[in-house]
Amino acid sequence: MSTAQTQQPVVEHGDPVERKLVTVYSHSRLFYWWPVWVIGYVLAALTYFQGRIFTFADAEVMIHPSKNLGVIFTVVTLLVLLMSHSSVRGAASLTVVIAILAVTFLFAYLGWWDNIFSAVGYLAMFMNLGFYIFFSTGLLTIWALAFFIFDRMTYFQFYPGQMVRCSVLGGAEQTYNTNGLSVNNLRDDLFRHWVLGLGSGDLHIVVTGAVRAEFDVPNVLFIDKKLRRIQQLIAMRPDETNADVVTAGAPD
């Protein structure tokens, strides 16, 4: 096992090396907040087409007459906050969240939220069109900067028999031979990884040999597909092709 500074292999369009390359990006948990700005824009559209104009302190604002919109937006935001920053193993997280959402939307459909807030008094939640647009746009901007820029500052690339850890800032690269290297999927949160993450998961990379290293790569998108390709690549030598690799149990 060795580590050394190296340059990333030059890949031309259509080069066979390109088809043997898997790039893995780790994303921050801010990625899981996409449902908040999506539902914000949906509620903004409903408010725009169905809302009414109210005047407060000489300012006209457009507000949807139903109390359900504010309840739905608040519940979705709190659920995303809870589930994106805590881990509940197995199917428990999915069961809990589905139950909460089902009750929330059932109460909204039956109109019970109006009765509940009326009974308590002074607790109705009304959010105007400006709030939905401003909050959703601000969150979308932060989300896009994190997803497309900041999360790509450090990444891993896998070639046949080789793994490269790359850092954009400073241009540092570390190359590891894949002999004795193991890559495991640590996905265990059904709601965060499957629902919010659209098939994401956490990778745990262990490098053994003369130089030992461990890397936790959280929130990798489409992890199952990438893991299959990675496992194939680390089993190859740099001069091998896919046809040279024999998979146990595969037909001839």
Task: Give yes or no: residues 51 and 111 share one domain.
Answer: yes
Domain boundary among 100, 131, 148: 148
Task: Give yes or no: residues 166 and 203 share one domain.
Answer: yes
CA distances to 30, 199, 222 from 140, in Å: 10, 21, 21
Structural tokens at position 183: 């890559």
pLDDT value, residue 67: 80
pLDDT value, residue 134: 97
Let me know if residue 7 belongs to a domain: no
Comparing 163 with 85, which gets the higher pLDDT?
163
**Cβ within 8 Å of residue 105, ≥6 positions away:** 72
Whole-number percent of the chain with pLDDT over 90: 35
Task: Give yes or no: residues 112 and 85 share one domain.
Answer: yes
Task: Give yes or no: residues 184 and 137 share one domain.
Answer: no
At residue 43, does pLDDT exceed 90? yes
Mean pLDDT of the 217-237 span: 88
| CATH number, position 190 | 2.30.29
Let me know if residue 9 belongs to a domain: no
**Cβ within 8 Å of residue 35, ≥6 positions away:** 76, 80, 196
Of 29-33, 79-83, 141-145, 215-219, the range with the highest mean pLDDT is 141-145
Band (4; pLDDT cuts 50, 70, 90): very low
CA–CA distance, 109 with 232 (Å, rounded to integer): 50
Let me know if residue 89 belongs to a domain: yes
Q: Which long-range contacts (CB under 8 A, 24 or more apart) does 40-48 make?
A: 40/73, 40/132, 40/133, 40/135, 40/136, 40/139, 41/132, 41/133, 41/136, 43/69, 43/72, 43/73, 43/127, 43/132, 44/129, 44/132, 44/133, 44/136, 47/127, 47/128, 47/129, 47/132, 48/129
Let me know if residue 252 belongs to a domain: no
Task: Give yes or no: residues 48 and 141 share one domain.
Answer: yes
Mean pLDDT of the 185-204 span: 80
Comparing 172 with 158, which gets the higher pLDDT?
158
Residue 163 φ then ψ, to 5°: -125, 135
Band (19; pLDDT cuts 50, 70, 90): low
Q: Which range of residues forms the domain containing residue 208?
A: 14-29+153-240
Lowest mean pLDDT across 5-19, 37-51, 237-251 = 5-19
Task: Identify whether the C-beta of residue 39 lies closer than 8 Å to the C-beta of residue 68.
Answer: no
Lowest mean pLDDT across 83-97, 145-159, 214-228 = 83-97
Let me know if residue 184 belongs to a domain: yes
- How many beta carbons lie within 10 A of that of residue 169, not counting itself? 7
Mean pLDDT of the 20-26 span: 90
Provide the number of structural domains found in the chain: 2
pLDDT value, residue 89: 54
Rg of the chain on CA atoms, in Å: 24
| Residue among 186, 150, 183 at smallest CA distance from 168 | 150
The whole-chain average pLDDT of the chain stands at 80
- β-pairing, 59-63 vs 154-159, is unpaired
Of 91-95, 138-142, 161-165, 196-200, the range with the highest mean pLDDT is 138-142
Lowest mean pLDDT across 48-52, 171-175, 200-204 = 171-175
Half-sphere exposure of 86 (CA within 13 A, CB side): 11
pTM of the model: 0.74
Comparing 27 with 235, which gets the higher pLDDT?
27
